[in-house]
Amino acid sequence: MKQQNMNEVLRGKQFFTKRMFPFHIERYRILKDNYIPPHTHDFFELVYVVRGNAHHQIEDKTYELSAGNVFILEPSMYHRFRASLSHDTVVYNVLFNKEFLHRELNTLSTMPSFVNFFYLIPFLQKHSSFIQFLPLQLVQKIQIEKHLDAIYREYQEKEDGYQFVIKTRLIEVLILLSRYYKTNQGKQNIFISDDEAIQSIAHFLKEHCNQPISLSQLSKTFGISVSSLTAKFKAHTGKTLIEFKHTAQIQQACYKLQESKKKISTIALDSGFNDLSHFNRVFKKHTGTTPSHYRSNGGES
C-alpha cells in the first residue's frame, strides 16, 4: 500500500479494480525508519509481516510487530506503521470487503474459533488493551506464507479462473488462522476488568448482532464464568444477553425492511435468524406486529 496523507480515509474503490471482485493484495516493503501515516479504510484488512520489525499503532495504542505476526483490521479502524530503525520491513497486505466473502462468512461464522479471530478480537482492538496480533509458530508461518504467495501470484498473473483460486485460498487462510488462534491464544484470557468486558460485549453484540456467538464462547474468551457474565450483563444493560442481542437484531431488521426490497426471509438470514418462524415470533414480540405488516405499514406497528 502506498504511503497516504495524514488521517486519510482509504476507499475500496481506490484498490478494487473490478466492481464484482472487491479484493486486492500487495506485498510491499517499508524502508527502515520509514512509516505509513495514520489512516482508516472502509474495507477489511489482513496484514502479515513477512520479514523485519515494525511498530503498529491501532487507535491510541502502539505494539511491536515481528516476522510471523498477523492480524485483521475492521473497517474504520485508525492505524499506522513505522518500520524499525535498522531493517526494512516486508508485509503482505490483503484488502477485501465483506461482500467478497458474504456467503462464506455466514458459514464460517458457525465456528466459534472463526468468530473469535475474525470478529471479536478485531473489534476488541478498539475497546480494550491486550495482545493485538496473532504470533505464528514456524510451521504455521510456512503454511500461511505459502498460501499468501499463491494468492499474490494468482492476482498478478490473472490467468483463467484466478478469482476462484484467490477466494478459495483466502478462505483457507482465514480457517487456518482461526485454528491457530484457538491453538496459540485459546487458553489465554483477555486481561481486562469485568466491567470493561461487559461494556465490550455489549458494544460487540450491537455491531455484530447477526453473528452466532454464544454465552459460553464469550465466557471463555473473557475469562468470566457463565453465571457471573449473565448476572453482570443483566445488571449493566437491564436485559439478558439473548434479549439484548434480539433487540439489536430486530432494530437491524426494521431498518432493512424499510430501506431495502429484500425478501423477508433474506432479511431474517442477514439479521442472524436461520429459522423464519423464529424470526417472525421474535419480531412480533419486539414490535407488536409481523415483518410484512411492518413493511407495508411504513414502519408503524
CB atoms within 10 A of CB 40: 15
8-184: which CATH number, 3.40.640.10, 2.40.30.10, 1.20.1280.290, 2.60.120.280? 2.60.120.280
| Global pTM value | 0.69
Q: Tell whether the model's pLDDT for residue 220 goes beyond 80.
A: no
Distance from C-alpha of 98 to C-alpha of 159, rounded to nearest angstrom:
24
The predicted pLDDT at position 3 comes to 45
Asked, colleague to colleague, whether 8-184 and 193-301 share their fold, the answer is no
The predicted pLDDT at position 22 comes to 93
CB atoms within 10 A of CB 184: 15
Distance from C-alpha of 245 to C-alpha of 252, rounded to nearest angstrom:
11
Distance from C-alpha of 115 to C-alpha of 211, rounded to nearest angstrom:
8
Instruction: Kindly indicate the confidence band of residue 277, based on its pLDDT and cuts at 50, 70 and 90.
Output: very high
The predicted pLDDT at position 121 comes to 66
Query: Among 92-96, 161-165, 205-209, 276-280, which stretch is predicted with the lowest mean pLDDT?
Result: 205-209
Q: What pLDDT digit, counting tens, does each position of 81-101 carry?
A: 888 888 888 999 999 988 888
The predicted pLDDT at position 156 comes to 96
Which residue has better confidence, 17 or 92? 92
Q: Tell whether the model's pLDDT for residue 151 goes beyond 90.
A: yes
Distance from C-alpha of 134 to C-alpha of 63, rounded to nearest angstrom:
12
CB atoms within 10 A of CB 108: 18
Distance from C-alpha of 282 to C-alpha of 72, rounded to nearest angstrom:
33
CATH number of 193-301: 1.10.10.60
Domain edges within the chain: 8-184, 193-301
SS (H, E, C) the chain: CCCCCCCEEECHHHCCCECCECEEEEEEEECCCCEEEEEEECCEEEEEEEECEEEEEECCEEEEEECCEEEEECCCCCEEEEECCCCCEEEEEEEECHHHHHHHHHHHCCCHHHHHHHHHHHHHCCCCCCCCCEECCHHHHHHHHHHHHHHHHHHHHCCCCHHHHHHHHHHHHHHHHHHHHHHHCCCCCCCCCHHHHHHHHHHHHHHCCCCCCCHHHHHHHHCCCHHHHHHHHHHHHCCCHHHHHHHHHHHHHHHHHHHCCCCHHHHHHHCCCCCHHHHHHHHHHHHCCCHHHHHHCCCCC
The predicted pLDDT at position 85 comes to 81
Query: Among 25-34, 122-131, 263-272, which stretch is predicted with the lowest mean pLDDT?
Result: 122-131
Q: Are strands 61-66 and 53-58 parallel, antiparallel or unpaired?
A: antiparallel
Distance from C-alpha of 66 to C-alpha of 48, rounded to nearest angstrom:
9
The predicted pLDDT at position 130 comes to 47
> Rounded to the nearest 10 degrees, how much is the dihedral formed by the CA atoms of 115, 164, 70, 149?
160
Nearest to 76 by CA among 122, 22, 134, 26: 122
Instruction: Kindly indicate the confidence band of residue 179, based on its pLDDT and cuts at 50, 70 and 90.
Output: confident
Section 252-256 average pLDDT: 93
CB atoms within 10 A of CB 169: 18
Distance from C-alpha of 67 to C-alpha of 34, rounded to nearest angstrom:
17
